[in-house]
């Protein structure tokens, strides 16, 4: 076995070359992962799709959904907490890009009320009102969901009535 003893400037140059080699190896193998696309629950984000794309696959559509738009854009909507991936492929099945999507909680002003194991979430911008949030007690969640559905139905009916 041969021992290598390098001192001073030569040692520093050797370490720099070693560090650069390791960096290039990491980049070449993909060890330096791209930042994930962060989407807030119940919000949307845009993603540019490569021109040659013919197929887009969502790893777990329960976490995020994707809707293709004209001009090579896709709208990613956060549906549930967690992480998933998006694969974009060309006609031959070659992967053009793979992106990680992280769905995180809301950033609006919320108040969470706990009563034992029961949880209720309120959106407080500007006044506190029930918010439809995953993980809330089922009765509270369903009541907030039904209220929103009723308001939506009434607004659609009012809009249809004003069209005449």
State the CB neighbour count (10 A cutoff) for residue 84. Answer: 20
Tokens of 126: 């500007």
What does the alpha-carbon distance between residue 41 and residue 20 come to, in Å, rounded to a whole number?
40
Given a contact cutoff of 8 angstroms between Cβ atoms, the answer to whether 81 and 38 are in contact is: no
Q: What is the pLDDT of residues 49-96, one digit of tens each?
A: 999 999 999 999 999 999 999 999 999 999 999 999 999 999 999 999
* pLDDT band, residue 2 (cuts 50/70/90): very low
Range(s) within the chain of domains with CATH label 2.60.40.1080: 37-104
Beta strands 37-40 and 44-48 are: unpaired
* pLDDT band, residue 122 (cuts 50/70/90): very high
* pLDDT band, residue 20 (cuts 50/70/90): low
Per-residue model confidence (pLDDT) at position 158: 86
CA 34 to chain centre: 13
Query: Residue 16 is inside which H or E element, if any?
Result: helix 8-29
Q: With respect to CATH, is domain 37-104 assigned 1.10.287.370? A: no
Please give the mean pLDDT across all residues of the chain: 85
pTM for this structure? 0.65
């Amino acid at each position: 076995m041969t021992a290598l003893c390098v001192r001073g400037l030569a040692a520093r140059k050797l370490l720099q070359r070693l560090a650069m080699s390791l960096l290039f190896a990491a980049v070449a193998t993909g060890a330096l992962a791209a930042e994930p696309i962060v989407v807030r629950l119940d919000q949307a984000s845009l993603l540019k799709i490569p021109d040659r794309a013919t197929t887009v696959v969502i790893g777990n559509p329960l976490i995020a959904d994707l809707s293709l738009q004209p001009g090579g854009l896709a709208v990613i909507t956060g549906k549930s907490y967690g992480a998933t991936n998006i694969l974009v492929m060309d006609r031959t099945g070659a992967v053009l890009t793979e992106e990680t999507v992280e769905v995180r909680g809301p950033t609006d002003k919320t108040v969470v009320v706990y009563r034992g194991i029961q949880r209720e979430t309120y959106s407080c911008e500007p006044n506190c009102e029930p918010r439809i949030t995953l993980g809330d007690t089922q009765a509270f969640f369903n009541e907030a969901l039904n209220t929103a559905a009723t308001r939506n139905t009434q607004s659609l009916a009012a809009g249809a009535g004003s069209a005449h």
